[in-house]
Chains A and B, each alone.
Chain A
Amino acid sequence: MAEFELTRNMTIGQYLPTGSVVHRFDPRLKLVAFSALVLSICFLGGYLANVVALVFCTLLFSVARIPLRYGLSGVKPAIPFIILLAVLQLLFYGAGFGAGGRVYLHWGFIWVTSDSVRLVVVSAMRFVEVIFLSSVLTLSTSITELTHGLERLLMPLRHVRFPVHAFALMITIAVRFVPTFALEMEKMMKAQASRGAEFGTGQWWRIVQRTKDTFPIIIPLFNIALARAEDLVLAMESRCYTPTEDRTSFKRYRAKPRDWAMLAASLAISALFLWIR
């Protein structure tokens, strides 16, 4: 924890209001379309299908009027993950699952075959496609809209006694809490550093000391968080909030023919992906 700039890295709730037609779709149908597209992409195993899907995702950025670099910035933190997975698959896929296809390299337990190369490329493309779809969804839909959409879609779970409304409220409050706690954590780290605390430095054998070094941050942060939550509980109750009653909503959504057309198009595109496969 040598760097203190938590809030600089925190990009939660990145919502980009460009006013495009994608922004104005009903969030419930957006979530269904998103799920259908992602599920179909998970089954694409060939080069052609993945290229088509990648082109589609890129076009989606244009329709939503979102600069492509936002999508690429979403891919950047996942690059180490993609590379690690690619190396593992390239080296071990052949040995573990039989040497299928043409063998390019065989040394000891390492087999590099055309099948493992295809697996690496296809996995990376699938990864990027799903991140692009997630970026379009989160950049074109605010947290509030996502929460409302999720709450409506989870309504059938009420029949199995899942607390749908409370869950949606948890999401809203949690998302509001994240930047607040990140700021508190940053303040705590700077305050402790200004009075001599060292984070993440020191000799390797002083493992107990380095564990103790986390306490000046974790325990005060916990106390602050708990106190802040208590304050919020009191404020909500003083505004007569009772979670067991059905409430009206300040925001109402009604699906228009345009929204249903978007859903139909998404389902058709998902079917097209699966057909190309």
Chain B
Amino acid sequence: MVTVRGVVFSALFAALLAVFSYTRIDLGFTPVPITLQTLAVMMAGAFLGPGYGFLSILLVVVLTALGLPLMGGNGGLPVILGATGGYIVSWPFSALLIGWFLQKVRAQGLMRYVWTFIVVEAFGSLFVYLIGVPWLAVVGKMTLAKALVGGCFPFLLGDAIKAGITTLVAVPLGKQYPPARLTGRGGSRVVPLDHA
């Protein structure tokens, strides 16, 4: 079922992705800056769960395809269909998988941090390259090895940092804002609307 709460919080994470796309952190020792876009994708999956997380990132992809400059001032179908489009197309599914697997994490304390980091790193980073690198190889017309060197290895460190940030934010804040609260499920502080 669809709730007002789910709609609004999904819009929130979509807006955060757009805002984060304008900020980057230079690491200094590598020419590849960390952008916060995938951080927002990881956050959407962690906080919203699979369904709304997917919709939240999907609408950013749809708006970018229409030409809105949501990717750090870039927009339009070349961003989606171009050589780096595979990364963007995989983001909704990345959020879906993060949300789905985080639901399975039952550990508490330190192990919860460890498992959350593993899930976010696996589906927020490695999964994205699983789709983005072959896409880069095909659309950019380069071999898979060169696509890996150019489109995957330089970003791994930054993505691990972002997964760490997501873990450190999502685990403590997730106690106060569990997916049930953000999406209106579970009846916590929300009247189920389908009974009205």
Contact = CB atoms under 8 A, between A and B. Distances in A.
Interface of A: 1, 6, 9-14, 31, 34, 38, 42, 74, 77-78, 81, 85, 88-89, 92-93, 96-97, 119, 126-127, 130-131, 133-135, 137-138, 143, 146, 150, 163, 166-167, 169-175, 177-178, 180-182, 185, 199-200, 203-205, 207, 210-211, 214-215, 218-219, 221-222, 225-226, 228-229, 232-233, 236-237, 241-244
Given A170-B56, A200-B26, A9 B164 contact: no
Interface in B1-31: 1-12, 14-16, 18-19, 22-29
Given A92-B141, A173-B7, A243-B4, 12 more contacts: A12-B68, A13-B68, A74-B76, A77-B73, A96-B141, A96-B142, A134-B76, A134-B77, A163-B2, A218-B169, A225-B12, A242-B193
Interface centre among B10, B78, B177, B196 (most CB of A within 10 A): B78
Nearest to A138: B67
A97 B165 CA distance: 41
A189 to B, nearest CB: 9
A177 B11 contact: yes
Interface in B130-155: 140-143, 146, 150
B2 A229 contact: no
B67 A177 contact: no
19 contacts: A34-B66, A78-B79, A88-B142, A88-B146, A96-B142, A133-B67, A163-B2, A166-B6, A169-B11, A170-B11, A171-B59, A204-B27, A211-B161, A215-B168, A218-B36, A219-B169, A221-B16, A225-B16, A226-B12
A214 B78 contact: no
Contacts of B146: 88, 92, 96
Contacts of A127: 78, 82
Contacts of A185: 19, 23
A214 B165 contact: yes
B75 interface: yes
B32 interface: no
Contacts of A12: 18, 68-70
Contacts of B62: 150, 171
Contact of B83 (A85, A175, A211): A85
* Main DSSP-derived SS at the B contact region: helix
Contacts of B142: 88-89, 92-93, 96
B114 interface: no
Interface in B73-129: 73-79, 81-84
Nearest to B28: A204
B150 A88 contact: yes
A1 B55 contact: no
Given A88-B140, A174-B15, A244 B83 contact: no
Contact of B66 (A77, A134, A205): A134
* Main DSSP-derived SS at the A contact region: helix
Interface residues of B, number: 68
A31 B5 CA distance: 29
A5 to B, nearest CB: 10
A83 B83 CA distance: 12
A166 B59 CA distance: 11
Given A12-B68, A77-B72, A174 B169 contact: no
A242 B68 contact: no
A11 B69 contact: yes
B143 A92 contact: yes
Contacts of B22: 6, 9-10, 182
A93 to B, nearest CB: 5
A158 to B, nearest CB: 12
Contacts of A146: 66
B73 A229 contact: no
Contacts of B84: 81
B60 interface: yes
